[in-house]
A = this chain, B = another copy of it.
């Protein structure tokens, strides 16, 4: 199961009760925080996010609307008694900033905070998931993330396998896709006694970026793509100037990358209502949803 819960959907600053960027990504039993604008810890309380279950935080870039809430969140985690490790993946200068803020407060966190400066490529690889990091095109260094389930082993039909003479000790090799040949030389093709696990789910987060087709191969085929749409399509000039995207541009990227579903967000504070974001994006890429705060967008394994 893949799910994305929006905690903040606004760009630059809070407005109209919309908050700066933050979202919680759930991949099966794992929770990740992606970006952490001011007020994220309050939004987590409001939407009942179990922060103790978050062990990885990803910060796309160092514009304040994407990280000003981080120091408050991690120090609050400390005050609330967190003891288990936290893994923070963020642009390199953030480490000094955090160290300085802890130092002036004469505060030591009661948990270990591992810091990993962002770089392109595979940045997390665990048994059940992996995270890829890729550059996007913004005014300052900025990265997107691709979260992927690790493909599960094939699933054995044990009754059928035993009927066909495959011993149980061979089941692990069946799961890896091997065929079985009996001592009498009879070949049992793997697919007769197994079936494929569901396809691994993929979520791509493109952070803040101007329209740039170089990211397409990084987000290709994702089950769910979050792409920023700071502006409606009539402000394409302003979007370029500020290294952001319009509805039409985000939807075009989604279409060209063949993703299954698009979530759009990072709305400029100049817009009080959002329905035109939805209609403009859907005109290009019909399976688009607005990122709305408190809403969880789910994709189930097929």
Contacts and interface: CB of A to CB of B under 8 A. Distances in A.
Contact of A139 (B42, B63, B100, B106): B106
A64 B71 contact: yes
A265 interface: no
A186 interface: no
Interface stretch (A90-98, A125-133, A156-164, A271-279): A90-98
A38 interface: yes
A196 interface: no
Interface string A37-50: 01101100100000
Contacts of A91: 104
A76 B12 CA distance: 8
Contact of A38 (B12, B39, B62, B64): B39
Interface in A61-99: 62-64, 68-69, 71-72, 75-76, 79-80, 91, 93-94, 96-97
A45 to B, nearest CB: 7
B140 A106 contact: yes
Given A62-B105, A100-B96, A100-B97, A14 B38 contact: no
How extensive is the interface on chain A, given as a class?
Answer: 20 to 34
Contact of A76 (B13, B45, B71, B139): B13
Looking at A13, A42, A63, A139, the one whose CB has the most chain B CB atoms below 10 A away is A13
Interface in A128-145: 139-140
Contacts of A52: none
Contacts of A93: 100, 104
A117 to B, nearest CB: 13
Nearest to A97: B100
A42 B64 contact: no
B72 A68 contact: yes
A101 interface: yes
Interface of A: 12-15, 19, 38-39, 41-42, 45, 62-64, 68-69, 71-72, 75-76, 79-80, 91, 93-94, 96-97, 100-101, 104-107, 139-140
16 contacts: A12-B76, A13-B75, A19-B42, A38-B39, A38-B42, A38-B69, A38-B72, A39-B42, A64-B72, A64-B75, A68-B71, A93-B100, A93-B104, A97-B100, A97-B101, A106-B140
